[in-house]
Structure 1
Amino acid sequence: MSKIGRRFEGKVAIVTASTQGIGFAIAQRLGLEGASIVISSRKQQNVDEAVEKLRAQGVQNVIGVVCHVSNAQQRKNLIEKTVEKYGKVDVVVSNAAANPSTESIINTKDSVLDKLWEINVKASILLLRVHSTINPTEISRLLAQDAAPHMPKGSAVVLVASIAGYHPPASMAMYGVTKTALLGLTKALASEMAPDIRVNCIAPGFVPTHFASFITGNVELRKELEAQTLLNRLGTTEDMGAAVAFLASDDASYITGETLVVAGGMPSRL
């Protein structure tokens, strides 16, 4: 890891799905830069192990909370435990994702479609649920109960999408579509939460993690993916952590509503 600064001294950051892979690397980077970290995952053992690992790496201000992002009570508990411990939330990184199917979109089961939407898109919205001042009839449904009410002016939200959001591959088409939705959600939330809270997004390329092992673990497919990059390599979890840290920091104080593609030059857009 390259030399890093201390841009998050006095800040509090929540990172969902952060006990391994990209989520863990994001939590690690923010923590090494001085943030108090709240990690979360679905299993207590994974949370406990990740907390100990971060502490061993020099991140002392860290707690872990079990949270399945599609569970309303667990989301609420995640925010409550954070505020109880640290008094506020400065950074929210919505990293949780699921990809339970390699079926074509047309052949994807209803239950799988629901799961993809719940975890990959809807959870990011509910985690940041705030009062609506645009449509008064929706206020009762959108009562402030999660992260946004505890985020002071200057806070930042970072969503984690994917290069697949620009070009959904056949083997993970519906997953890609949910990530496309996050690109639009970033724009919409940035407008809604401005000017006090910035909302941005990263779109990682293919990164060798447990989540992506069915792709990156295939030697031939990995070579094909590397050839599609301009840098002739796949990304690392540290690459993604660095990108999120930039967008969440004051170095990006004039950036909101944007998606940063972190994919080594893989084709995404003009």
Structure 2
Amino acid sequence: MEWNGKVVVVTGGTRGIGAGIARAFAKAGARVVVCARHAPEAPLDGVEFTPADLRDPIAVHDLFAALPRLDVLVNNVGGTPYRLLAQTDAERHARVIELNLLAPLTASLAAYDLLRRARGSIVMIGSVSGTRPSPGSAAYGAAKAGLDNLARSMAVEWAPDVRVNTLVVGMVRTEQAHLHYGGEDAIAAVSRTVPLERLAEPSDIGEAAVFLASGAAAYISGASLLVHGGGERPAFLDAATANKANHEETGES
């Protein structure tokens, strides 16, 4: 009953993680609006679609001006192709930062008055790429690191009216996972590097977003919630030999 009559906007919510988040809020009972440049390939049950380019401030302003109220904004829009720093010009890297950092800032500013009136919540969708080196997606990692810091500053400036938190997301099995990791054998091999031995499902991220926006998290703001299955096993543990030798000599299990 907590979500009856509540309005949730999920940016970039037409596929992958965003669609998982939208479905989770719809299942909880909220009115969910997703926005992106292109409509979803198949309708999402209980979810409304509004076309909008999140990089266009006027379009973003119009999107929120048309809403009667807003209780939750999920800044999910983002992504990047594989681009080594020295093999791509600065303008292309800047576009990645624009999409992953400036677009969430633009949406948050446009949504602020509605969220303040509803004493609502913002959930930023961050990434483990923003917490460690991110070769091949350095601009993306830098943008996600900036997004986490932006969320912490928003949480202070906009308190007590608006709570702001970040989901720091690890590897997720979306419909495009094969483009990042390869076929099923490659995905299985990557999954074994995760302590929980699987990639996240979009629904895992959705349920975490619902939690952060819910009354159960009413005293949580300015926080970063890691949703990465336990993280990444450090490579040196498999490369080192000393502990393996001691383990074999002692017969410890």
Partner of 1:183: 148
Moved over 4 A (4+): 218-221
TM-score, normalised by the number of residues in structure 2: 0.85
**Which residue identity lines up with residue 148 of structure 1 in the other structure?**
Y
What do residues 199-258 of structure 1 show as CA deviations (whole Å, max 9, x unaligned)? Answer: 001011111224543223344543443222111111100000000000011110000011
Residue 243 (structure 2) aligns with: none
Q: Is 1:41 the counterpart of 2:36 in the alignment?
A: yes
- Deviations 1:88-127 (CA, angstroms, capped at 9, x unpaired): 1100000000303x23234431221221111100011111
**Match in the other structure for 1:216:** 181
Distance 1:211 1:77 in 2: 31
The code of the aligned residue for 1:110 comes to A
The alignment partner of 2:197 has SS state of: coil
Task: Tell whether 2:101 aligns with 1:121.
Answer: yes
Q: Secondary structure at the match of 2:54?
A: coil
2:137 is paired with a residue whose SS is helix
Cα 1:216/1:110, change in 2 over 3 Å:
same
Partner SS, residue 206 of structure 2: helix
1:31 maps to what in 2? Answer: 26
The structure with the larger Rg is 2
1:89 to 45, 70, 81: 70
Q: Is the 8 A contact 2:76 2:124 kept in 1?
A: yes
The answer to whether the aligner puts 1:150 opposite 2:114 as a matched pair is yes
Mapped to 2, the partners of 1:19 and 1:40 lie a distance apart of: 7
- Retained in 2: the 8 A contact 1:66–1:74? no
1:197 counterpart = 2:192: no
Partner of 1:140: none
Mind listing any 5+ residue stretches in structure 2 that lack a counterpart?
A: 234-253
Residue pair 2:155, 2:163 contacting (<8 A) in 1 also: yes
Q: Is the 8 A contact 2:85 2:136 kept in 1?
A: no
Deviations 1:46-78 (A, max 9, x none): 24x55x331xxxx2xx42110111012221221
Cα RMSD (Å) of the superposition?
Answer: 1.9
1:68 corresponds to which of 53, 59, 82: 53
> Is 2:13 the partner of 1:18?
yes
Say if 2:4 is the partner of 1:9: yes
Aligned to 1:53: 44
Aligned mates of 1:91, 1:184 — CA distance in 2: 19
Q: Structure 2 residue aligned with 1:239, among 204, 218, 227? A: 204
* Contact 1:168/1:177 (<8 A) preserved: no
Matching of residue 80 in structure 1 with residue 65 in structure 2: yes
Paired positions, count: 232
